[in-house]
A = this chain, B = another copy of it.
Amino acid sequence: MISQILSPVHTSSRDDAVLQALVGFVTDEGLVPGDRLPTERVLAERLKVSRTTVREALTRWQELGLVERRQGSGTYLKAAVTRNMLHMPLTLASGNDFNSLMHTLEIRRGLEAEAAALSAARVSDADIAMIEQKLIRMEEAFHERHGMSADEDWDFHLAVFRTSGNPLFEQIIAAMYEMFHRFWEHPLGVRDFGHASFPYHRTLFNAIAARDPIAARAEALKLIATVEDDLKRGAANLKKQTQKNRVHI
């Protein structure tokens, strides 16, 4: 079961070395998410370090969501593990207040504009057809439901990111998007949130289809600006309500 791959660690920062050895083990053994890792006690023995050190290393992986521990059962791989992984822990103060949501939008403004410009510079004809298909589905959903549909909207944006040729955009913006939407059924009480952004989806597509990076960046910025306006409107509403209810405090 345990091959000879696990060799004693030697260098500094024991638990770093343990993680490095674990990466080697996981990749060489071809483990995939869901598979079980060796026991803590086994790892400790194989790596010639104490169980405490192994536990510290696994705790770090657990915090990064790479691994899940179940008492009495074992430790299970939760995500793909490769060498040269880059860890980027994002911490936001209290995800649902106005400032935090605004912060995610500021990140999106910088990244979506850049992604749109890169996409316009790099799309293939097939990419353009694919993006237009997503756009049409979004527009259909909009007219059926008389409002923005989060899923179709996200599919469209995702298509743009993926044609940017840089996978980092998708992963980072996806995290921002999730933070933003985790708390938005009706974020800050604003109904038909994102309604104003609708027309800019087509203008953005047109700029990309025309392979015009400058125009694409401009349209992406306009789109984000409408979302920011919605958010500010929501914050104003919230403030008004708070003032109205102040007597209860």
B66 near A64 with CB under 8 A, answer no
Query: Cβ of A178: which chain B residues have Cβ within 8 Å of it?
Result: 86, 88
> How many angstroms from the CA of A86 to the CA of B177 in the assembled complex?
11
A96-138, CB under 8 A of B: which get 1 and which 0?
1000100110110111011100100000000000000000000
Query: Cβ of A8: which chain B residues have Cβ within 8 Å of it?
Result: none
Select from chain B the residue with minimum beta-carbon distance to A90.
Answer: B88
Specify how many copies of this chain sit in the oligomer: 2
B167 near A103 with CB under 8 A, answer yes
Asked if A88 meets B171 with Cβ closer than 8 Å, knowing A60-B63, A80-B93, A107-B111, the reply is yes
A90 near B172 with CB under 8 A, answer yes
> How many angstroms from the CA of A164 to the CA of B10 in the assembled complex?
42
Select from chain B the residue with minimum beta-carbon distance to A79.
Answer: B91
Chain A interface residue count, Cβ-Cβ cutoff 8 angstroms: 49
B95 near A91 with CB under 8 A, answer no
Select from chain B the residue with minimum beta-carbon distance to A102.
Answer: B166
Q: Which of B86, B89, B114, B115 contacts A88 (CB 8 A)?
A: B89
> How many angstroms from the CA of A222 to the CA of B93 in the assembled complex?
31
B94 near A87 with CB under 8 A, answer no
B79 near A86 with CB under 8 A, answer no
Query: Cβ of A85: which chain B residues have Cβ within 8 Å of it?
Result: 91-94
> How many angstroms from the CA of A80 to the CA of B91 in the assembled complex?
10
- Min CB gap A219→B, angstroms: 15
- Answer whether residue A32 sits at the interface, using C-beta atoms and an 8 A cutoff: no
